[in-house]
Amino acid sequence: MPVANALTHIVQICFDFIKSEIKEKGETNEFRIQQLIMTEFEKRGYFTDHSPIVAVNANSANPHYSPDAENFAPIKEGDFVLIDLWAKVDADDGVWSDITWTGFVGETIPDKYTKIFNIVRDARDAAFNLVTERFDKKKPVFGFELDQVARDVIAKAGYANYFIHRTGHSITTELHGSGPHLDNFETKDERQVLPATSFSIEPGIYLTGDFGVRSEIDVYIHPDGKVEQTGGKRQMELVAILS
């Protein structure tokens, strides 16, 4: 199984484990789920440079939060959960995969979470659709344009001030590669996106003290210009983890 597809499968393993722990024990915690991911990486012979992000409620509003053995939050029914994981085959020529999914620990999802997720999803898809359209028409597309089209969706919804990082980064044998980034925020990346390159698309909205949503996919541009989202199915709605 390709690494990207395996990461999507591992997310589902995590959601299933959260469900079983909630049903049997009433709760689990961020660090337990993070270590479950690390165990799954070890089984597959994957390498990662940092432990994955498992963030609950207000912790998910910090894009760089990560639990550890001393600092972690419980996961209970009614909580919002963000999982961001990245890995590659443990070899010098291994290419990274990097995805983020979100879910709610319940059978039905409150509107406030669905609203923000849908905005972020639409921003993500706007960037993916633009790069696909440009390559289909054999027209150039630049890193800053892909950032801006996603950022415009979030701004139109009234959350411009809550999208606090670039839309995506180059991916190679380095997690943050040397190719064009999807960035018109930290810098204006005027480099052209070229065939035989890969990058993430990961817009987010972060409501400090409450919750944050990020939805991340990886894109590979084939040498012939075909645009592919790797990793299998794309998240189109929040996961109701207890359903």
CATH of the domain at 125: 3.90.230.10
| Mean pLDDT calculated for residue range 82-101 | 97
Q: Is residue 88 predicted with pLDDT exceeding 90?
A: yes
Q: Which range marks the domain in which residue 207 is found?
A: 3-240
Structure tokens at 119: 């905005």
- Number of structural domains in the chain: 1
Q: What is the percentage of the chain residues whose pLDDT exceeds 70?
A: 100
Structure tokens at 39: 């165990």
β-partners of residue 199 are: 170, 219
pLDDT of residue 128: 98
The predicted model scores a pTM of 0.97
pLDDT of residue 1: 79
Residues 6+ apart with CB under 8 A from 14: 33, 36, 37, 54, 83
What are the tens digits of pLDDT across the range 126-181?
A: 999 999 999 999 999 999 999 999 999 999 999 999 999 999 999 999 999 999 99
Contact 7, 231 (CB under 8 A): yes
Give me the helices (H) in the chain, please: 3-25, 30-44, 111-136, 143-156
| Mean pLDDT calculated for residue range 85-89 | 98
| Mean pLDDT calculated for residue range 59-68 | 97
Task: Measure the CA–CA gap between 144 and 232, rounded to whole angstroms.
Answer: 26
Mean pLDDT score across all residues of the chain: 97
Q: What is the percentage of the chain residues whose pLDDT exceeds 90?
A: 99
